[in-house]
Structure formats: structure tokens, C-alpha cells
Amino acid sequence: MSDATKLAHPELYGADARLLGVRCTDCGRVAFPRQHYGCEACGSVRSEDVELEPRGTLLSYATVHLHASKSIAPPFVIGEIGLAGGPTLRLTLVESDDGELRIGAPMRGVLHPAPGGESALELRFTRESAR
């Protein structure tokens, strides 16, 4: 993998934008992010790694205007995504304002340049209809 495609968090997602999750082999709960400490629902330590399609539905969003950390400059938009594969996740959206966002809209994950000038890519979600 060249520097241009370095992933900001390779423990969370792959170069194909699929999410690295885990499935409890006792109760079936699918969770993200991946961990092998024990199932949050039933406590079982028996699990299998799964990859989750980066597709889901927009459940909510918020434009952040104030952010103490220098890691990203506001404003930016956070979305809450209900993944087709089960878990809900909250992460930064590609959209820089919430004008086109509608709760219930289909969303997809894409790799996007991470802020901060590093040549790394981070996973964000965007409207399925956005090009």
C-alpha cells in the first residue's frame, strides 16, 4: 500500500471501506468496533470477525460549530448511521453542511482525506446520491 492510500485507522476499516466488526457466536449480536473482550449483550467470549458493508440509513445529523481539539476545524457534520448489517455508528460525513441531508436517506461509506495534512484516508459516510 502506498502512502497515498494509508488508512488513518486500519483496525477499524479496510481499503475497500468495509467496517471491521465482530459477531457473537452465542447470541448473534453484531458489534462495531471489533473487540474480543466479551459480548456486551451476553458476556460470551466466543466470537467471529465479520466485515460489514459500508451502507446504511441516516438516523440523525448535527453540524458542529465549536470544537476544542485542533484535530479537525469546525464546522463539520457528524452523522448517525444505522448500518444494514445491524450496528449504529456515528462518524464524520463528507458533506460540509447539512443542507442536503435528510433523515432516512441511504448513505454509503467512502475513504476521504483525513484532516491535518497527513496523506492518510479516513472513513466517512456520504449520501448515496452524492457523487
Does 76 help bind other proteins (rule: CB under 8 A)? yes
Q: How far apart are CA 81 and CA 95, in angstroms?
A: 14
72 in contact with other proteins (CB under 8 A): yes
Q: Which of 5, 67, 73, 100 binds other proteins (CB under 8 A)?
A: 67
C-alpha cell at 34: 471489533
Place of cell 491535518: 116
Are 39 and 24 contacting, i.e. CB atoms less than 8 angstroms apart?
yes
Which residue number, 102 or 131, has a Cβ lying nearer to other proteins?
102
What span, in angstroms and rounded, lies between the C-alpha atoms of 78 and 63?
A: 6
Contacting positions for other proteins (CB under 8 A): 8-9, 11-13, 29, 32-33, 35, 37, 40-41, 59-69, 71-72, 76, 78, 80, 82, 86-92, 103, 122-123
